[in-house]
Amino acid sequence: MGIQVQSLGKQYGKTWAVRDLSFEVQPGKVTGFLGPNGAGKSTTIRSIVGLDRPTTGRALIDGVRYVRLRAPLREVGTVLDARSAHRSRRAVDHLRTVAATHGFRAARIDEVIGLTGLESAARVRAGKFSLGMGQRLGIAVALLGDPHTLILDEPVNGLDPDGVAWIRGLLSALAAEGRTVFLSSHLLSELALVADHVVVIGRGELIADAPIAELTSDAGRTLEEAYLRLTRDAVEYRGGQVGEPQPGAAGGSGA
């Protein structure tokens, strides 16, 4: 069934971080969640995994709220913070702790270390990890329970080109097994490399929900151009105006 976000809204004080947001994430494909910083991506993800209580609407995983799952880490693997491991703990010990507290078989630790390329860093303390290695450790933890659903917040952030190629292969393979794979990014170029389908939001509202191929097929537009077009349409639909770039506005001194 995948992930179902239904008329989701989240209000903080007088500000709506997300408003009337609806979309579905289907199993068997990699779905990207795209929007600039502050668009409401993290709020949406936190609502899906039960860390935020929606003001309106609901978010379901395979038709059930996250808090109703009997064994959440066996059903949903999440990465919300690549720096969540204790800095003084070795990577393998962090994995052992999670496995022991959730009843995962010990052999699974070596399996996820191999899946995430952590063999040479397994006995390195997490505090010495680069952001990219922290991402790999976070994904290893998410995979410990062999979950059917993966939800990753900015997982490509900090990865070098080899790391991007690795995560593309890993996520594609997991989706090919029929799993639900949902990852966020604020960079179009990242999602173009790893995702089959894209959900685009801006200011907490839906802008687009379509396969990448559909977004890029209009007169040979690139994904960047398609995103800009969709953003312009959304702004103008809500009564705003989008001006043309002024000569010399791009490529300036950067001040």
Residue of 103, 102, 109, 19 whose CA lies nearest to 57: 19
Ranges of the chain with pLDDT below 70: 218-224, 226-227, 229-231, 233-255
Yes or no: say if 118 and 140 are a contact pair by the CB < 8 Å rule. yes
Distance CA 134, CA 156 (A): 11
Q: What is the pLDDT of residue 110?
A: 96
Structure tokens at 194: 């790893």
Longest CA–CA span in the chain (Å) reads 61
Q: What is the pLDDT of residue 249?
A: 44
Q: Out of 1.10.3720.10, 3.40.470.10, 3.30.70.20, 3.40.50.300, select the CATH number for domain 3-237.
A: 3.40.50.300
Distance CA 131, CA 24 (A): 30
Q: What is the pLDDT of residue 251?
A: 42
Q: What is the pLDDT of residue 193?
A: 82
Q: What is the pLDDT of residue 180?
A: 98
Yes or no: say if 45 and 204 are a contact pair by the CB < 8 Å rule. no
Q: What is the pLDDT of residue 213?
A: 81
Q: What is the pLDDT of residue 190?
A: 79
H helical segments located in the chain: 41-48, 72-75, 91-102, 107-115, 131-143, 161-176, 188-194, 212-216, 223-237
Q: What is the pLDDT of residue 253?
A: 38
Tokens 């559909």 map to which residue? 214
What amino acid is encoded at 71 in this protein?
A
Distance CA 189, CA 196 (A): 13
Tokens 């995994």 map to which residue? 49
- The pTM assigned to this predicted structure is 0.85
Q: What is the pLDDT of residue 149?
A: 97
